[in-house]
Amino acid sequence: MSTREGLLFVARSKEFDDLTAVTAARDVFWERGYASTSLSQLQSATGLSKSSLYETYGSKRGLFARAASNYLDTVVGPRLAPVEAAGAGPAELAGYFTGLAEFFDRAPSQIARRGCLLLNTAMDLNDLDEEAATLVRNYRARVQAAFLGVCRGRVPDAEAEILTAAQIGLMVTSRLDPALACSLARSLAARVSAWPADEAPPAS
Amino acid sequence: MSTREGLLFVARSKEFDDLTAVTAARDVFWERGYASTSLSQLQSATGLSKSSLYETYGSKRGLFARAASNYLDTVVGPRLAPVEAAGAGPAELAGYFTGLAEFFDRAPSQIARRGCLLLNTAMDLNDLDEEAATLVRNYRARVQAAFLGVCRGRVPDAEAEILTAAQIGLMVTSRLDPALACSLARSLAARVSAWPADEAPPAS
DNA sequence: GACATTCCGAACCGATCGGTCCAGAGTATC
DNA sequence: GATACTCTGGACCGATCGGTTCGGAATGTC
């Protein structure tokens, strides 16, 4: 708003929801990757005109930044939260993999095949910038840190490194064959569940 | 060649080496992915003109098929051969990962960051065809089969499934950070080496 | 009505895309 | 020289790319 001659004028309010638009764009990037996503596809998904997209997000790259941030907040965060919580144990980690298994099992093929937006970005790093590269590296580090928190005191630290790699492989596999990914996720959950108890074992 | 009036004429011989050109193209696809590789980049890499490329390989897609086949023959095959051999054991599997670790350690960054041509293709499946998709799935299945041959009789079969995922994650990680991939590969080798002996344990 | 802002359609930019074609130079054997 | 084939540079195709600009309609408050 602006003032002039003591009068207060209020501008026309926004007609589209920013979160809705970013989410729609996120899904296109997620499914097709950054480089293979065209502006016209983003227009179709968001329902916004090219002018509005440019005016609001500055560029394709700017919209991608918003999409990636949204992905971290609404997809990665909630799924990883129980594992990142203080005191998380094998049960929480197994639940993480079981949750993914159920997702691959139940979600429609088109959704299950999207893999991970940030890992998919690893293939587009040639077309993006160093900022995008560190974004992906930080994501990987965050996953490994969460896994490591559960491993400490129970299994060697290298287990977290390997589990992180397996998780990355899991998301890539889901792009190839969601059913295979489902099976794999269950195997990972089973493996974590088989870890020895860390404290006083239950008297049986 | 053709005959006419009883005379035999022999055509001009090829001036470029097919294997060299395919290898050069393969490296570009490997580094940049299918969709992000342009014809002009393929021209620069192969040293061939657009006309010759079209005449020889039919299309960008046709050249990619040759590149992928070459990749399987000259990259995947040799590295996986010892693991696929009859009677291969943990030592061969550990050697596989150690070989990758040394590669990530010694190869120039630009080379080490290429990851796996076929796994990278998983991101381009939207732009390719079902034939390409089965190519990647078959590669994954081949790796898992090789790993499974070593697991049998020593560790549960699910270990091969998880190791395959870890191997996929390893190749993705190498695109992000070769040093991390090197460390990961060594951890995988160590893990496999720690498997219990399958037959009469050595008397100590 | 005046004013401020939002939004879109459309035109436009320069560039690149994969693909097609052809004239002509080069290279080989007879 | 005649013949047959290889190979290239360049022109061309229609299409699409990300990005930019602008006029004007729509929507709001005063």
In a domain, B168, yes or no: yes
* CA A92 – CA B196 distance, rounded (Å): 29
CB contact under 8 A, B123 and A167: no
Q: Using DSSP bridges, classify how beta strands A2-4 and A7-9 pair: parallel, antiparallel or unpaired.
A: antiparallel
Task: List per-residue pLDDT tens for chain B, 204 residues long.
Answer: 333 444 455 555 566 678 889 999 999 999 999 999 999 999 999 999 999 899 899 999 999 999 999 999 999 999 999 999 999 999 999 999 999 999 999 999 999 999 999 999 999 998 889 999 999 999 999 999 999 999 999 999 999 999 999 999 999 999 999 999 999 999 999 999 999 876 655 554
Asked if the Cβ–Cβ distance from A35 to B31 is below 8 Å, we say no
Q: Which domain holds residue A105?
A: 15-193
Q: Tell me: the pLDDT tens digits for B18-37?
A: 888 999 999 999 999 999 99
Yes or no, beta carbons of B123 and A126 under 8 Å apart: no
- pLDDT (tens digit, 9 = 90+) per residue, B158-174? 999 999 999 999 999 99
The candidate with the shortest Cα–Cα distance to B170, out of B183, B160, B158, is B183
Strand (E) or helix (H) holding B80: helix B77-84
Number of domains in chain B: 1
Residue A2 forms part of a structural domain = no
Q: Is there a domain that residue A34 lies in?
A: yes
Closest Cα to residue A69, out of A163, A125, A138? A138
What CA–CA distance (Å, rounded) separates A22 from A48?
11
Chain C: positions less than 7 Å from a protein CB are: 2-11, 16-23, 26-30
The domain spanning residue A62 has which CATH number? 1.10.357.10
The reply to whether B152 falls in a domain is yes
Residue A1 included in any domain: no
> B28 lies in a domain?
no
Task: Give the Cα separation of B111 and A116 in Å (integer).
Answer: 24
Q: Could you tell me the distance in Å between the CA of residue B60 and the C1' of nucleotide D22?
A: 40
Instruction: Assess contact for A27 and A120: CB atoms under 8 A.
Output: no
For residue A4, being part of any structural domain is answered with no
Domain presence at residue A5 = no
